[in-house]
Amino acid sequence: MNAAMLEYDFMRHAFAAAGIVAILSGLVGYFLVLRGQAFAGHALSHVGFAGATGAILIGASPLAGMLAVTTLGGVLMGALGEKLAQRDIAIGVILTLSLGLGLLFLHFFTAYATQATALLFGDVLGVSVNTIYQLLLLTTVCLTILAVISRPLLFASVSPELAEAKGVNLRRQSLIFLGLAGLTTAACAQIVGVLLVFALMIGPAAAAQRLTTRVIPGLALSAGLALAQAWTGIALSYLTDWPASFWIAALSGGTYLLTLALIRN
Amino acid sequence: MSAIDLAQVTIARGGREILRNISVNIRRGEFVGVLGPNGAGKTTLFRTILGLQPIQSGRLEVFGAAPRRGNPAIGYMPQTRIGQTGQNLRGFDILANAANGHHFGLPISSRVIRDDVAAALQAVDATELAARPIATLSGGQRQRLLLAAALLGSPKLLLLDEPLISLDPAAQASIIALIHRLAETRGLTVLFAAHDINPLLGVMDRVLYLSGGNAAIGAVDEVVTAAALSKLYGADIEVIRAAGRIFVVSDTADHHHECGHA
């Protein structure tokens, strides 16, 4: 690999930001895929788009707007119950509504067309040091929460009736987890954009769950794949001058398709 | 000494009385078949014993104490099966998680828990099955894993909610023999919900019949009679015994369907 790319500040920032977010996305994504809530995660990112554009409109930080709205959206989805979070049509409606709303906010603030592209498709090469610190803080908070709830979350996800009988509060697990998924989505969108959060949150986790039947290796593999794909994507973007988000999405999708072809269940 | 004691218990769910004023006493070490049509309250009764469903009136004691969530004395096999999600996970990891999943922390398990899981798997002869992703297991194999999950923590009471559903006769016979052997060797009290009484003849000590909010408990010959069941169902029920089997039949088509037959 071309070591010269690390001489640029923007490249070092890109690797740092993408690395932080990839690990978080891989771990939270593992549970999203396990719970069959991948589509809910995708919808959250679109809700985040409306939040970010709304924040721009009122002069606030897009990341703050996105965080507020995705977390709220996740908690709401969780509060409405597992069943809603898995209901395609309700989620699809929320998704389109949010994207439309985001578009309307942008319409009122036409000067920010480049910002729209950055929100939708990510702008990993434009990450500031400040953003890296924000992402680091966010990731630390999210991973701490995940570390505390991961065991009952797994129980509630895989054997809900047993978990309930053992005293696990299913509603609370769902609520906390989707709130966490909302935060992760907002972080992830900083790197690959709201339209491509699947690339880091779902692709690596889905591939990892095909590659191992064990939980801890699965989590490690999911985070590892997300990290490898994010960093390779950025490096390829440097070498080819194509968008990093494209490369990350291509690597994520390609890896998953490869596991489909190689491993038959 | 009783394992479960219900005295004039009424259980309502969503404003509807599921079980009305029922009194049932189950002794320790008893194997009780729980029969009755769909919606008669078998699952509701189990959820009440587990402390998930409050009682409206009456008194319920489980091993001499009020029911409480997470009671380690109870092993539960729910009717909705594990494996709706997490199909690609291996059985061992699912069981290890079930052993301590109600505690906060990372999904890792101690030596003690892994030993407990290994012992439970061995008790149901599923050690090899547990290495495979559950998506690749048959219905009977999954039931064995669920039974192992119910045995974790060495409970004194097993609540088994329709473990025979969607199993072929050979798999049914093998799971019943397994549960019966475990109950005998460990002195377990077993409540075994089933749709059809015939597979349980010969292993159960008594039968608990639920229908229309009422309950009847006793030996099979006392409870599964035309007179007793007609009273319970509030409809004309015929009981036919032939070739060592019991057929519960009613004139109305839906009852015929619900009562089950071999």
Residues of B in contact with A154 (CB under 8 A): 97, 101, 107
The SS3 of residue B47 is: helix
Residues of A in contact with B106 (CB under 8 A): 147, 150-151
Identify the band that residue B83 occupies on the pLDDT scale cut at 50, 70 and 90.
Answer: low
Contact status, residue B72 vs residue B153, Cβ threshold 8 Å: yes
**Which residues are CB-neighbours of A50 under 8 A, at least 6 positions away?**
A69, A98, A99, A101, A102, A105
Q: Could you tell me if residue A261 is inside a domain?
A: no
Q: Could you tell me if residue A262 is inside a domain?
A: no
What's the CATH fold of domain B29-51+65-223?
Rossmann fold (3.40.50)
Location of structure tokens 């899981």: B117
Q: How many CB pairs under 8 A join A and B?
A: 104
Note the pLDDT tens digit of each residue in A155-191.
999 989 999 999 999 889 988 998 899 999 989 888 8
Cβ within 8 Å, pair B101-A154: yes
Q: Could you tell me if residue A260 is inside a domain?
A: no
Contact status, residue A251 vs residue A233, Cβ threshold 8 Å: yes
pLDDT at A6: 85
Whether the pLDDT of residue B142 is over 50: the answer is: yes
ipTM of the complex: 0.88
Determine the Cα–Cα distance for residues B62 and B158; give it in Å rounded to an integer.
12
Does residue A107 sit at the B interface (CB-CB below 8 Å)?
Answer: no
Q: Could you tell me if residue A263 is inside a domain?
A: no
Domains contained in chain A, number = 1
Determine the Cα–Cα distance for residues B150 and B15; give it in Å rounded to an integer.
31
Identify the band that residue B259 occupies on the pLDDT scale cut at 50, 70 and 90.
Answer: very low
Closest Cβ–Cβ partner in A148, A151, A164 for B97: A151
Residues of A in contact with B83 (CB under 8 A): 158
Domain membership of residue A195 as a residue range: 3-255
Does residue A2 sit at the B interface (CB-CB below 8 Å)?
Answer: no
Q: Could you tell me if residue A18 is inside a domain?
A: yes
Whether the pLDDT of residue B255 is over 50: the answer is: no
Location of structure tokens 């009136």: B57
Note the pLDDT tens digit of each residue in A26-39.
999 999 999 988 88
Identify the band that residue A123 occupies on the pLDDT scale cut at 50, 70 and 90.
Answer: confident
Neighbouring C-beta atoms of residue A213, cutoff 10 Å: 23
Determine the Cα–Cα distance for residues A54 and A9; give it in Å rounded to an integer.
30
Task: Quote the percentage of chain B above a pLDDT of 70.
Answer: 94
Q: Could you tell me if residue A264 is inside a domain?
A: no
Structural domain boundaries of chain B? 29-51+65-223
Identify the band that residue B188 occupies on the pLDDT scale cut at 50, 70 and 90.
Answer: very high
Closest Cβ–Cβ partner in B70, B82, B135 for A158: B82
Partners of B191 in the β-ladder: B32, B159
Whether the pLDDT of residue B118 is over 90: the answer is: yes
Q: What is the average per-residue pLDDT within B66-71?
A: 93
Cβ within 8 Å, pair A214-B69: no
The SS3 of residue B235 is: coil
User: Mean pLDDT over all residues of chain A?
Assistant: 89
User: Mean pLDDT over all residues of chain B?
Assistant: 89
Note the pLDDT tens digit of each residue in A78-120.
777 656 655 777 778 888 888 888 888 888 876 666 777 888 8
Task: Quote the percentage of chain B above a pLDDT of 90.
Answer: 68
Partners of B25 in the β-ladder: B5
Closest Cβ–Cβ partner in B79, B104, B149 for A152: B104
pLDDT at B76: 95
**Which residues are CB-neighbours of A186 under 8 A, at least 6 positions away?**
A48, A63, A66, A67, A70, A71, A138
Cβ within 8 Å, pair B103-A209: no
pTM: 0.90
> CATH number for the domain including A204?
1.10.3470.10
Cβ within 8 Å, pair B69-A166: yes
Closest Cβ–Cβ partner in B78, B97, B149 for A154: B97
